[in-house]
Amino acid sequence: MKYGMKDIAKKANVSLTTVSLVLNNKESRISTQKKQEIKRIAKEMNYQPNSAAVLLSKQISYNIGLIVPDITNPFFTELTQFINRQLRQNGYFTLFVDSGNSYLGEKQAIENMISRGVDGILLVPSSEFFSADQAEVETMFKNAGKPIILLNASTDMDISYVNFNNVEGAMMATQELIDHGHRNIAFIKGKDHLVNAQERYQGYKKGLEKNQLPFRKALVFEGDYSSNSGYQLAPQILKQSAITAILSSNDLMLFGLIKWSKEQGVDIFNRFSMVGFDNTPYTEIIEVPLTTIDQDAEKMSEDAIKMLLKKIKGKHDVTEKIIIQPRLIRRKSVKFI
């Protein structure tokens, strides 16, 4: 029922070695006849190599670990799908972990994955990741002994990553709002330890500055990227009557805001122009489709995988840093004032 190389060898009247050599296309010095015979038998028996044994002797598992903070966040969902698909196209399998947005979860996941023999790890770091002790993180990465690269994050540490140009994205969004006559633009930021959140915040400020508009602390609100945090923030934002537009660090928080408004019966789309971040699916189906900054998840996963496989295969061990340019998707949520 479950056949191994030994069974094939027996059936073909050759040695174990020969079978292994043939199935791995390793030695040319075996008669073509036997080669074909062996391959035929292997197919016939539906032979599947025992990966544990292969891993043990070759130290290659063709497994890649993927860690995301929260699979439920549509941006990560999409990213996961791309990564899974592209990895499979390259002959790799995905060992998946949702870290629950915690550094502990990430740490355990990494250790576990390494012990399970993954060939490399793609890590989409949680917001806690960057508040962890930097030295500890670096030793953890070194000790892993396998390449680990960061997605959707930047760092000064000696670690490769691919990230979006967040300040550029936030600037574009801010500009769009300003171009429509808005002057009192609220900003919903994420937590500071998330570098991406900082960068978007910075982009917002830069956007104002570029247009000689004053930056006012009172117009910035802090959430944690969850829909729920947007929900919590809603009353405070609504209270400030000067605000005519909102730029949010991601779509999700805007969703929370919309939900709250719906419950309270306030017509939020009429009151504010809004732009989000991430081009989440569903931003198309809400009451008025959301203008948003698109982060090309497919490109990110392509670049990241290419980078990782290069590290795995070659001894190409320089640390690389790739920045992807975001783009503005204009829909209906931005109006002239």
Partner DNA sequence: CTCGTTTGATAAAGCGCTTTATCAAACGAT
Partner DNA sequence: ATCGTTTGATAAAGCGCTTTATCAAACGAG
Residues in contact with its own copies by the rule CB under 8 A: 1-2, 46, 48-53, 55-56, 61, 63, 66, 70-72, 77-78, 80-81, 84-85, 88, 93-98, 100, 111-112, 114-117, 142-143, 145, 227, 255, 258-259, 262, 281-282, 284-289
The least distance separating DNA from the CB of residue 104, rounded to whole angstroms, comes to 23
Please identify, using beta-carbon distances, which residue of 94 and 165 lies nearer to its own copies: 94
Q: Is 45 in the site for DNA (CB under 7 A)?
A: no
Q: Is 56 in the site for DNA (CB under 7 A)?
A: yes
Residues in the chain, how many? 337
Q: Is 40 in the site for DNA (CB under 7 A)?
A: no
Q: Tell me phi and psi for residue 201, to 5 degrees.
A: -60, -45
Strand partners, 315: none
Round to the nearest angstrom and report the end-to-end CA distance of the chain. 72
Please identify, using beta-carbon distances, which residue of 114 and 220 lies nearer to DNA: 114
CA distance linking residue 257 with residue 318, whole number of Å: 43
- Among the residues of 180-243, which ranges form H helices? 195-210, 227-239
For the CA atoms of 130, 136, 137, 142, the dihedral, rounded to the nearest 10 degrees, stands at 170
Mask 57-96, x = binds DNA (CB under 7 A)?
Answer: xx--------------------------------------
* 18 interface partner picked from DNA, its own copies, none, CB below 5 to 8 A per type: DNA
* Amino acid sitting at position 89: Q
185 three-class SS: strand
Q: Is 110 in the site for DNA (CB under 7 A)?
A: no
* Cβ partners under 8 Å of residue 324, min gap 6: 162, 163, 164, 165, 295, 296, 299, 300, 303
* 111 interface partner picked from DNA, its own copies, none, CB below 5 to 8 A per type: its own copies
**Tokens 């910075």 sit at which residue?**
202
The least distance separating its own copies from the CB of residue 316, rounded to whole angstroms, comes to 21
The least distance separating its own copies from the CB of residue 33, rounded to whole angstroms, comes to 28
Please identify, using beta-carbon distances, which residue of 26 and 88 lies nearer to DNA: 26
Please identify, using beta-carbon distances, which residue of 217 and 315 lies nearer to DNA: 315
The least distance separating DNA from the CB of residue 107, rounded to whole angstroms, comes to 20
Q: Is 20 in the site for DNA (CB under 7 A)?
A: yes
Please identify, using beta-carbon distances, which residue of 15 and 319 lies nearer to DNA: 15
* Cβ partners under 8 Å of residue 290, min gap 6: 251, 254, 274, 275, 276, 283, 284, 331, 332, 333
Name the nearest CA neighbour of 171 among 277, 256, 244. Answer: 277
* Cβ partners under 8 Å of residue 212, min gap 6: none
Please identify, using beta-carbon distances, which residue of 30 and 132 lies nearer to DNA: 30
The least distance separating DNA from the CB of residue 32, rounded to whole angstroms, comes to 8
Select the residue interacting with DNA from 1, 25, 31, 314 (CB under 7 A): 31
Cα atoms in the Cβ-side hemisphere of radius 13 Å centred on 149? 28
Binding region for DNA (CB under 7 A): 4-6, 13-18, 20-21, 23-24, 26-27, 29-31, 34, 47, 49-50, 53-54, 56-58
